[in-house]
Structure 1
Amino acid sequence: MVSVLNRSTRRLASAAAVGAFGIAIALGTTACGSGKISQTANQAPAVPGAAGTIQLAPSDVSGDTNRSGTIAVRNVHILYPTDKADAIFGDGGPFQVAFLVSNDSVNRTVKLDSITAKTGDVKVTPPTDAKDGNPAELRPNTALQAGEPAGALTGADDKTEVPRFTVELNNTGNTVAAGLTTPLTFNFSVYDLQGKKVQTVSTTIDTPVDGNTLPGRQDIVRDRQGE
């Protein structure tokens, strides 16, 4: 009987020791992990802006309905000022706006008429080095670009040959700030290949402020508790 009790006692003691060891490992792992900031927490997104898509009305040719494609507005964001940021935010501008607009239609020409803001004024200035025609008119399968985001290729380094507009947002009061979004409405006219206006469309995009003037943040793991 004593031998059986001793064996039972030893089993219970061993189980308790294993359980305590497991709890210690779990607590140690939790303590080590607490206070850490994940590696991705400091990484800027590859594409910081917002986006919108406009589906164009289908065309009718000899009784057949054909898809007319879409207008894609991509990577829309307000550039963080590279100089005198406090004064610019305090004065409500002027801010530079960056985006890309593309027309993937094969039977429609699209013209960017204007950009409007819920609060403030938007001035759109076409590029002075446009090769031919109106750079605001997007022929089938063409695009236009605005602004110069941090890290973007410009000048001789930019091989895309996409017209680059200057878009300025001003008189916004206190509605533009990091962490807030600003509604910007893009207004377009749509023409068929014969130059007849067939549609007027628009899309409103909640536009964020770019995080900072750097192309990316450092990827650093920090530990508040130390080793």
Structure 2
Amino acid sequence: MRVTATREIAEVWEQQVRRQIQRTGQAVAEVRIREPLGAMLGTPTLAALATVLAKTPGWERQGDAYQHDLDGGYVRYDPGTRELEIVAVRTAEVTVTAEATATAVGRLTDELREEGEGMYYDDEWGGVTEQDARRSAQQHAAARLDATARIRLNEAHREIDEQRGAEVLAEAEGKADTELSAAVAARSGQLRDEAAERLTAVGIAGRNLFYQALGTAYRDAITAYARSRGADHLHCTEDGGVIDIEFELDVN
């Protein structure tokens, strides 16, 4: 036996549409000092220094300058300006989470129709009568109506969420971008203090590296000068960072 059941749906409700977005950025702070070397470097030394820096491991050509990365910063020498730049750098990852919500009104009006089945035998075998079968079919139809109503309501909720979702997401993204900018700025301020504390150590390491290269450049410039003048008994030694150059030159 089959029976058909119908049901009218007329639902009105409010639902919250919510979107959450996470943004991650990089906070960076640099504190630097520049030391002009002025007339300290003559043309031969300057030429030799560029050659030394180009061949020394750790020094990399950055445009017209040479840079050596350090723990917590870098040292940079620009032959054009003859400036030594010491830079302390601190970085940190910043993450923010922002959320936006909107209240949407949903409406669903529909007529549902479902069938149910019940079984009985003419001889009422098993004690099942036609009335029992009809009741069972009606129960099955009602259960199917309940399931269909839930599905339709869930679909309606999902459709509203999707319709308003893009708008709410855009709002959440705007909030996240604003909050990230503020968080990066705040963290950068903290990092700037840390970089200032680190600058002394970076400066010591950077100057040591640079003046080692400069000492080698002075050595190369002086020995090149001696050879160009035909110097005799040219001898160069280095001990503990001290370079000793000896040669004989006829000045007549």
TM-score grouping bracket, smaller chain normalisation = under 0.3
TM-score (norm 2): 0.20
TM-score by length of 1: 0.22
Q: Which has the higher helix share?
A: 2
Q: Which has the larger radius of gyration?
A: 2
